[in-house]
Structure formats: structure tokens, C-alpha cells
Amino acid sequence: MRRTTEDHLSFLKRASGGRTATVDPVAKALDQLRHAGADLTAPHQTRHFVYVPGVKGAQQLARRLKTPDRLIEVDTSARVGYWLVVVRQSIVVTPEAMASLRAEFESAAAPLGGAYDRWQVDLQGS
């Protein structure tokens, strides 16, 4: 987890190198938000990153994930042959909410050959 110049926190879904993560990323996010003075009971803007092979697959995933409270973007990615689907949603960040979203995105991406990568939470307005 790191603070970036774009004023948000970034959290990886899995540990690098295939090792099991020893720190819960949601708990760490909540600690970082608390430290930044954020109201943990208020919704925060989150971004979820999903990689999908091909633009058609990315567009199909975007349609599957679209809801009235989400903004979906499809963009090129640095991964050859893959497109990036970014899902923006304002939610109260809790372990249960993040696990539910991750499961939803993973299950929607898997049949298309895609993979959920990570999420971020904005600190602006916190």
C-alpha cells in the first residue's frame, strides 16, 4: 500500500511473488484512512482494476458490471493483448464490502479470461 501523487491509496489483491499476504489490505486501508482523518462511516470513492484480453471482452465486462452507482471506463493497458476496465464506485470501505466487490469482479472477469488486479481508495474529501 502506498500514497501516490494522485492522493489515493492503492491496495494489491495478492502478494507479489505468489507469497501469501500477511497484512489484510482492507484493515491497512482503514488504518490509513483513519490516520488521514477520514470518516470511516462515510462513503469513499474507490477504483477497481480488472484486466481482460481484447477490447470486446473489456466492453462485455463493462456492460456486466454497470450499475447506476458505478462509473465504468475501458482503456488500453501496458499488458500486451489486455484492456483495462476501471470501476469507480463510492462506498463505505469495510472488509465485507471489499470482499463482495472483489468476488463479483473476479466472477464476472473469469469467463472472459480476465483477472481482478487491485483497488484504490481516494483520500480527497476524506
Note the pLDDT of residue 16.
45
- 15-37: per-residue pLDDT in tens? 445 555 567 888 888 888 888 88
What is the model's pTM? 0.78
SS3 67: coil
CATH class of 2-122: alpha beta
pLDDT in tens, 55-79: 999 999 999 999 999 999 999 999 9
**Sequence spans of domains, the chain:** 2-122
**Per-position DSSP letters for 7-56, written without gaps between them:** SEEEEESS-GGGPPPSS-HHHHHHHHHHHTT--TTS-EEEEEEEEEESHH
pLDDT at residue 117 above 90? yes
